[in-house]
A and B are shown apart, each in its own frame.
Chain A
Amino acid sequence: GAGVSQSPRYKVAKRGQDVALRCDPISGHVSLFWYQQALGQGPEFLTYFQNEAQLDKSGLPSDRFFAERPEGSVSTLKIQRTQQEDSAVYLCASSFPLAGGPYNEQFFGPGTRLTVL
Chain B
Amino acid sequence: AQSVTQLGSHVSVSEGALVLLRCNYSSSVPPYLFWYVQYPNQGLQLLLKYTSAATLVKGINGFEAEFKKSETSFHLTKPSAHMSDAAEYFCAAGNTAGFKTIFGAGTRLFVKA
Interface, chain A (partner B; CB < 8 A): 3-4, 33, 35, 40-45, 48, 55-56, 58-59, 91, 93, 101-103, 105-111
With contact pairs A33-B101, A48-B99, A48-B100 given, residues A105 and B46 touching in the complex (Cβ less than 8 Å): yes
Report whether A42 and B46 are in contact in the complex, using a CB–CB cutoff of 8 Å: no
- CB-CB under 8 A from A106, the residues of chain B are 44, 46, 101
With contact pairs A48-B99, A102-B99, A105-B49 given, residues A42 and B43 touching in the complex (Cβ less than 8 Å): no
Report whether B100 and A43 are in contact in the complex, using a CB–CB cutoff of 8 Å: no
- CB-CB under 8 A from A103, the residues of chain B are 32, 51, 94, 96
Interface, chain B (partner A; CB < 8 A): 4, 6, 9, 32, 34, 36, 41-46, 49, 51, 90, 92, 94, 96, 98-106
What's the Cα separation between A40 and B9 when bound, in Å? Answer: 9
- CB-CB under 8 A from B45, the residues of chain A are 107-108
Report whether B43 and A45 are in contact in the complex, using a CB–CB cutoff of 8 Å: no
Can you show 30 pairs from A to B with CB atoms below 8 A apart? A3-B43, A35-B103, A40-B9, A42-B6, A42-B90, A42-B92, A42-B103, A43-B44, A43-B90, A45-B102, A48-B100, A56-B98, A91-B43, A91-B44, A101-B96, A101-B99, A102-B101, A103-B94, A105-B34, A105-B46, A105-B49, A106-B44, A106-B101, A107-B43, A108-B43, A108-B45, A109-B43, A110-B42, A110-B43, A111-B43
Residue of A nearest to B96 (CB): A101
A75 to chain B, nearest CB (A): 15
- CB-CB under 8 A from B104, the residues of chain A are 42
Sample of 10 further A-B pairs with CB below 8 A, known A41-B105, A42-B103, A103-B94: A3-B43, A40-B9, A42-B6, A45-B102, A91-B43, A91-B44, A93-B44, A105-B34, A108-B43, A110-B42
